[in-house]
Each structure stands twice: as structure tokens, then as C-alpha cells.
Amino acid sequence: MDTALLKVGVPREIKDGESRVALTPSAVKRLAAKGGQVYFQKNAGLAAGFLDQEYIKAGAKRVVSSAALWKECDLIVKIKEPQPKEYKFFKSDKILFCFIHLAANKKLARALLKSGITTIAAESVSNKDNHFPMLEPMSEIAGRMAAIVGAYHQMIPSRGRGVLVCGLPGVLPAHVVVVGAGTVGEHAAKIASGLGAQVTILDTRQERLNFLDEILPKNVSTLIATPESLTQTLLSADIIIGAVLIPGAKAPRLITRKMLKNVPKGSILVDVSIDQGGIAETSRPTSHSQPTYIEEGIVHYCVPNMPGAYGRTATAAFTNAILPYLEPLMIQGLIPTFKRDPGFAEGLTTFSGKLVQKMAAESLRLPHTPRTDLIPD
């Protein structure tokens, strides 16, 4: 076995309601076949339906505690940003590869910078086509799921209006309004229309709407987003899906409290953009254990880690996306891998106590150091 390879560690996720794990047993098998040593924390995959025995059979070694895992491994790979209980494990000789979303988390930024740990933000890694290969599958899941949870919460026992999303012969289906026509919006519209809803999808980009008009079914109408068009469309909304993103910035508050007063009572707002602050003045983060609250008579579902509820599917999708990056990183180490793949290097977030992501530095009002000052191309 090549001892120069980075030892990979997979901890158990501890964020509320999180059921994903960073690697499936089959991904472990692939890394092991390349000579890699993979460690996992006891029961790391249990919530996603992967048993310890499957990891062991694939070639991984089990450790009991997260402390032992961090101590043993060079490269920690996980899904969610570290939680405060994990900050004490940060060390300057460790690499952490996961979703980090630093722009809104000063406490985490301080802990990372103080420790000198190297971090790679999965959400910032881009590929040759300028896509975000680890972020996109999570947006696809959240979008698809938004249509499903919206339809579910329309039930009266869930405090909805009682509109069956698909309608039935002689009775109209639900009107689903999707605000933002990127990845989340497209996938929400696809599933909502598949369920039989009448869907209106809004975006500011005409060319994106042209594309969606070609590929989505006829029960999806497209509309250019303006304050007026949105206000008008919301008047008949049974389900609203917030799917807007302005990269690196907080989500714009497109739906005011005043606008919501005119939305039918019992309608559902699934604000997927909540991880960037949400698109409604009334949105605030909720959790999988208590996903909804009511304001202005509207059921708000604002869970920032929606894919965590579908751990099995989301783990498979995340593993598919991360493995092509993880494998060379494990074998070649950080700097040679970054030099070969500048899109991967875009993920570098902290290095030697310096903050490399410009947008995060700006929003946190912390000093920024360009990556190329630390790791030349």
C-alpha cells in the first residue's frame, strides 16, 4: 500500500435531521481499490441505510468516535458544514472537503482561520462547462422535493387549504408558482407539472424561459419576473416555491408581507432559497423536526438542508459527484490536483489561516487573500 496517499475519514453527520453521509460503501470500495485507506465513524451511514458491515466489507476501517476519526485521517470528507461541536478537531495539517456556506457563518469562519485547516467548499467547485457538479444534484433534489412537500402540506391536517395538487375530472388542479427558473425551479416545475398541477415559473432571464418552454410540458407557463407580474400571479397561488439565487449574495426579498396578505389563506410557501436568507420577508429557517410555521395565514416550509430528508438518494448523488475529485486528491495531494484542475481549485476556502473565497470575505468583512498568492497556478 502506498503510504503517501491521504487517509480519508468519513464522520457521522450531526446537523439536525441530516441523514446523508459523504460516501457510499461502493465509493469506499473504489478508493480502496486505488490503494486508499478509508476510515468511517461508527454508524456514519446508518441513517441513509448503509450498515457498518457494508463499509467494512468495502475495505474501510471503523472508528468509534469523531475525535478518533479526525485524529487518524488527513482528509475529512463530509456533507454539511462543521457544527460547533466539531470545531475543536480543526488542525493545520488537515483537509476538510464538504459544503461550507461560509458567507453567512462568521463563527465557523473564525474557527477555520484560527486553526489553519485547509478547507474545500463543495459548493464552489466548478467544472469545464461552468457548472457546479456537487451543488447541482442537491438543487435537483431540493427542487423535486419542493413540489412534493408543497403538495403534501396542502392537506388540511397539515394546515393547508385542502387543494389536491392534481385536481380531478371537473375540479381544477393546484396552481403552483415557482419563483426562479434555475436548477431548483426547473426540477420543481417538472415534478409539480408531472403531478398534474398548473404551474407558472418566473425568472428575470428570457433565454432561460425560452429553454424551459421547449422542454417542460404544456401545463407549465413561463413568465418574466417583475414585482407586478409576481404580485399578480401570487393572487391565485396554492403553492409557492422560492428558487431564486444571486450567486454569493443573500436572496432578494421578492415577496413582501403585504403581498402575502393577498395570497389565499392556507397556501404553502416552500422557500428553498432559505439557505441564502429566503425570498419572502416572512421566511425564517426551520428544521426537519419542525419544518413549518404559519404567518399571514400561509404555511411556510423553510428547511435549509432539504436533501437531508432523502438521505439514500442524496448520498448516492453526492458520492457520484464528489468521487471524481476525491480520488485524485487522495492519490496526488492538494497542490498537484489543484494545478491540474483549476475548477476544483476554485473550491479552496481557507488555507494556512487565510480566507480565499472573495465573496465570503466581503460578506463577513474579513481580509481576503487570493488563492494564487498561496498556491500559484
Ligand X SMILES: NC(=O)c1ccc[n+]([C@@H]2O[C@H](COP(=O)([O-])OP(=O)(O)OC[C@H]3O[C@@H](n4cnc5c(N)ncnc54)[C@H](O)[C@@H]3O)[C@@H](O)[C@H]2O)c1
Length of the chain: 377
Nearer to ligand X, 182 or 297 (CB): 182
**In whole angstroms, how close is the CB of 81 to ligand X at the nearest point?**
13
* Partner residues linked to 270 by β-bridges: 241, 301
**In whole angstroms, how close is the CB of 230 to ligand X at the nearest point?**
8
Q: Do the Cβ atoms of 200 and 176 come closer than 8 Å?
A: yes
Nearer to ligand X, 38 or 138 (CB): 138
Choosing from 101, 175, 187, 300, which is the catalytic residue?
Answer: 101
Single-letter amino acid, residue 272: V
Nearer to ligand X, 48 or 142 (CB): 142
Binding-site ranges for ligand X (CB under 6 A) = 138-139, 142, 179-185, 202-205, 208, 225, 243-246, 251-252, 254, 272-276, 303-307
Please choose, from the candidates 144, 143, 164, 140, the residue with its C-alpha nearest in 3D space to the C-alpha of residue 152.
164
Gap between the Cα atoms of 92 and 78, Å rounded: 18
SS3 265: coil
Is-catalytic flag, 203? no
**In whole angstroms, how close is the CB of 238 to ligand X at the nearest point?**
20
How many other C-beta atoms can be found within 10 angstroms of the C-beta atom of residue 238? 26
Is-catalytic flag, 129? no
Give the distance, in angstroms, between the CA of residue 112 and the centroid of all CA atoms in the same chain: 20
Gap between the Cα atoms of 233 and 200, Å rounded: 8
Please choose, from the candidates 90, 94, 61, the residue with its C-alpha nearest in 3D space to the C-alpha of residue 75.
94
Euclidean distance between the first and the last CA atom of the chain, given in angstroms as a whole number: 30
Single-letter amino acid, residue 214: E
**In whole angstroms, how close is the CB of 242 to ligand X at the nearest point?**
8
**In whole angstroms, how close is the CB of 298 to ligand X at the nearest point?**
18
**In whole angstroms, how close is the CB of 170 to ligand X at the nearest point?**
34
Nearer to ligand X, 8 or 270 (CB): 270
The single residue listed with the C-alpha cell 403552483 is 176
SS3 195: coil
Q: Where are the beta strands (DSSP E) in the chain?
A: 8-10, 38-41, 61-63, 75-77, 95-98, 118-121, 175-179, 198-203, 220-224, 239-242, 268-271, 292-295, 298-301, 348-351, 354-355
CA dihedral 142, 101, 46, 37 (to 10 degrees): 130
**In whole angstroms, how close is the CB of 57 to ligand X at the nearest point?**
32
Q: For the chain, give the longest Cα–Cα distance.
A: 69
Nearer to ligand X, 117 or 255 (CB): 255
Q: DSSP for 311-324?
A: HHHHHHHHHHHHHH
Nearer to ligand X, 41 or 139 (CB): 139
Nearer to ligand X, 36 or 346 (CB): 346
Choosing from 203, 238, 271, 275, which is the catalytic residue?
Answer: 275
- The pair phi, psi for residue 286, each rounded to 5°, is -120, -170
Q: Do the Cβ atoms of 109 and 364 come closer than 8 Å?
A: yes
Which residues participate in catalysis according to the annotation? Answer: 101, 275
